[in-house]
Chains A and B, each alone.
Chain A
């Protein structure tokens, strides 16, 4: 169990640019979640996948955001035309829904700064 891995750890971009983050979940976990956390707040749910299917999207996930999990393993989160309000920590988590279910385990996040 190597844990949830996120890349990059930090990203600085200029307003209007596109950015993409990657998450590698715990290998046997079938669910993958994306959260956003701003300074001094709790993480807020954005979306989740079960295997390759995206099953729920929060209203926080504007149309500039898109997430994929093409083979049911790693996932990417893309933000198009970034805005300063997108500056936050983006957290990924994974869980297992089968026998001996597992709660959400989080990665260490990608900190995005939009200048």
Chain B
């Protein structure tokens, strides 16, 4: 089955700096890679996703990249703000509506 690894486990940045989170996956059958943000006491919220036929996707301050050959994908947040502080999870799935397998999470702290 799929195994998703993620690093770093914790990340602290100054407000306005960029944050990068990297993930790897094991299952070649995975074609869909969502990223979720989880705030304290809440469920994971989908913030961006990328499919295997796309190498990069951007949405305002958030961008994701995918290297399917190397089985690597990354999340980039630019111009970080205190409200970006949360736990971020990368995940992999065969399709957008199938079960997702989560990485262990990255706790991001943005220092004002």
Chain A residues engaging chain B, CB cutoff 8 angstroms = 4, 31, 33, 40-45, 48, 56, 91, 93, 95-97, 101-109
Name which residue of chain B comes closest to A46, CB basis: B99
Contact indicator A107/B43 (Cβ below 8 Å): yes
Name which residue of chain B comes closest to A111, CB basis: B41
Question: What secondary structure prevails in chain A residues at the interface with B?
Answer: strand
Contact indicator B34/A42 (Cβ below 8 Å): no
Q: How far, in angstroms, from A97 to B101 measured CA to CA in the complex? A: 18
Contact indicator A106/B97 (Cβ below 8 Å): no
Contact indicator B42/A45 (Cβ below 8 Å): no
Q: Which residues 13-44 of B have a CB within 8 angstroms of A? A: 32, 34, 36, 41-44
Task: Let me know if B102 is at the binding interface, CB within 8 A.
Answer: yes
Chain B residues engaging chain A, CB cutoff 8 angstroms = 4, 6, 32, 34, 36, 41-46, 49, 89, 91, 95-105
Name which residue of chain B comes closest to A50, CB basis: B97
Q: A48-B99, A103-B34 are in contact. List 20 more A-B contacts (CB 8 A).
A: A42-B6, A42-B105, A43-B102, A44-B102, A95-B96, A96-B97, A97-B97, A101-B95, A101-B97, A103-B97, A104-B34, A104-B97, A106-B36, A106-B43, A106-B44, A106-B45, A107-B43, A108-B41, A108-B43, A109-B43
Name which residue of chain B comes closest to A4, CB basis: B43
Contact indicator A45/B34 (Cβ below 8 Å): no
Partner of B96, one of A45, A56, A103: A103
Name which residue of chain A comes closest to B4, CB basis: A42
Partner of A45, one of B43, B46, B101, B104: B101
A-B contact pairs, 12 of them (CB 8 A): A33-B99, A41-B104, A42-B89, A44-B102, A95-B96, A101-B95, A103-B34, A103-B97, A104-B46, A106-B43, A106-B45, A108-B42
- Rounded to whole Å, the gap between the CB of A75 and the closest CB of chain B is 15
Q: How far, in angstroms, from A44 to B44 measured CA to CA in the complex? A: 12
